[in-house]
Amino acid sequence: MTFKKYFYTLFWFLLISAPIVAQQKNNADQMTKRAKSYVFQQKDKIGKMDKTLNLKLTKMYASDRTIKIVYTKRNTDYASLFPEMTEGKFKTEAQENRYVARTYCIWRVATDALASQSLSSIVRGDVYTWLVDVVGPEGGEPLYSFDFKTQAVRNAIMLCGGKMPTDFKAYLSKTLVERALQSLLKDVYLPHDSAGFCNVLLKNQKLSVEMLTTHRCYPLLKENGGEAARTAWLGSFMRLSKSKRYFNDLCDIIKVRQVAVEIKLRDINNRADSTMFMIYPQEILDYAKKPVVSETQIEAYLIGKLGGKKQEAEKRGWFISQYGPNRTTLTAAVAPSKSNKVYEVVEEMPSYPGGKPAIAAYIAKTVKYPGPCLDKKIEGRVVCRFTVTRDGSVKDIVVAKSVDPLLDKEAVRVISLMPKWIPGRHNGARVDAKYTLPVTFRLTQSAEDN
């Protein structure tokens, strides 16, 4: 009886599930056909130069749940594609190129999806992946690669309110603002010695923040639905955001993306005891209409609510408490930042007085082409990385991309003699920050004659 029971159970399971499996296979086959149809529609673009990316579309084909694209780059050098929009926002020009290329591909697919029924059904109904390689003129290993899924395309359409802009630069601007928003959300901190944010995580348009505080301050921050904690976060976030020229765009993205903040308040003496507060998108937008508060006002508000004192300037970004276990000092990193930290990316990157034209003029005036390199007709672009200190000095110069030892040495010499820069800023303070600068050595007729 037992065998028959299991046999009949298996029989009915297969009988019921067979049509479902067949339907799923049929749906997958339909999606693959639609993907191949979309790729076929793009055949006229194969072998042509894309003027926006300055890349040539070499290959494009579809397989099961994947669309593969290969672009060919004219050379292996990198140059900023939209310097007026991206300057200071990326560590290197290579990183900027990769970001712009990925953003462009998503924009292109989203635009096509709104105009093509076959592609629209793929974006709406299945998980497809676009795999993109950018190779050099000789082919071989990719210079860089990236991928994105249908969810990224749907997010792009949602970001633009269901209608993609015809100008790519308009869409790129929106994504850069969204990128800045993510950075700002993570940079919020409390200027108080007994409370601080840590373990910041942004996922699915929700910012999760852990707020550590002392045993004495815990009930004060918890009362009235976390009024003090919520007000301090909102005030600090708006202080950072309202100084940005794209503040209105930030608010638009918060509204469209429905960005919410989840604050988990914890007592450092009893981590198991925690309270959760939510700050919803409309609350952030309503607070944005109020006058901006200064850091001094936030300090005064917290001291009025919690007592204690403001955080000392040299310990900014650290939460120091004398109320840890066994009466020992407990130090918890909130936004790890020490006075000797060198930042890779900051809110305001270092800049040379007069901008890029002034840099080019200085290099042209100062550089001395090494004689042996002139004789051998060696030219190229030496890429250097260095630190711009908080007082504007240049130090720690290294060659990130070499051409020739003599040209490398001359590039380092030229940079070491530069006048003081305008230092980078982060959270309103001047900081040490990394900067990448290419020095191009190009032979001219006059140089060869000399």
pLDDT tens digits for 319-349? Answer: 544 433 333 333 443 333 444 678 877 778 8
Residues 91 and 230 in one domain: no
Of the candidate ranges 161-170, 266-275, 344-353, 412-421, the one whose mean pLDDT is the lowest:
266-275
Long-range CB contacts for residues 282-285, cutoff 8 Å, separation at least 24 = 283/230, 283/234, 284/234, 284/237, 284/254, 284/259, 285/251, 285/254, 285/255
Q: Which whole number is the average pLDDT over 359-386?
A: 90
Q: How confident is residue 411, by pLDDT bands cut at 50, 70 and 90? A: very high
- Check residue 319 and give its pLDDT: 53
Residues 229 and 268 in one domain: yes
Helix (H) or strand (E) holding 436: strand 429-441
Residues 309 and 376 in one domain: no
Residues 369 and 278 in one domain: no
- Check residue 153 and give its pLDDT: 86
- Check residue 413 and give its pLDDT: 93
| Prediction pTM value | 0.59
Q: What's the mean pLDDT when you consider all of the chain? A: 78
Q: Which of 191, 205, 422, 199 is nearest to 319 (CA)?
A: 191
Domain count, the chain: 3
* Residue 245 covered by a domain: yes
Range of the domain at 393: 355-449
Distance CA 199, CA 441 (A): 46
pLDDT at 358 over 80: yes
Residues 207 and 273 in one domain: yes
Distance CA 53, CA 70 (A): 13
Is residue 192 classed as helix, strand or coil in its secondary structure?
Answer: strand
pLDDT at 151 over 50: yes
- Check residue 324 and give its pLDDT: 37
φ, ψ dihedrals at 88, nearest 5°: 80, 0
Residues 220 and 311 in one domain: yes
- Order of strands across the sheet with 66-73? 49-50, 55-63, 66-73, 129-136, 139-149
CB distance 232 to 301 below 8 Å = yes
Q: Which whole number is the average pLDDT over 254-283?
A: 83
Is residue 131 classed as helix, strand or coil in its secondary structure?
Answer: strand
* Residue 197 covered by a domain: yes
Residues 201 and 69 in one domain: no
Of the candidate ranges 92-101, 188-197, 378-387, 440-449, the one whose mean pLDDT is the lowest:
440-449
Report in angstroms the alpha-carbon separations of 419 from 87, 297, 396, 398, 416: 20, 37, 15, 18, 9
pLDDT at 64 over 70: yes
Helix (H) or strand (E) holding 426: strand 424-426
Please give the share of the chain, as a percent, with pLDDT higher than 90.
6
* Residue 59 covered by a domain: yes
Q: How confident is residue 16, by pLDDT bands cut at 50, 70 and 90? A: low
Residues 326 and 195 in one domain: yes
Pick the last residue of a domain from 337, 366, 383.
337
Residues 214 and 315 in one domain: yes
* Residue 311 covered by a domain: yes
- pLDDT digits 0-9 by tens, 204-249: 678 888 888 877 888 888 888 888 888 888 888 888 888 788 888 8
* Residue 3 covered by a domain: no
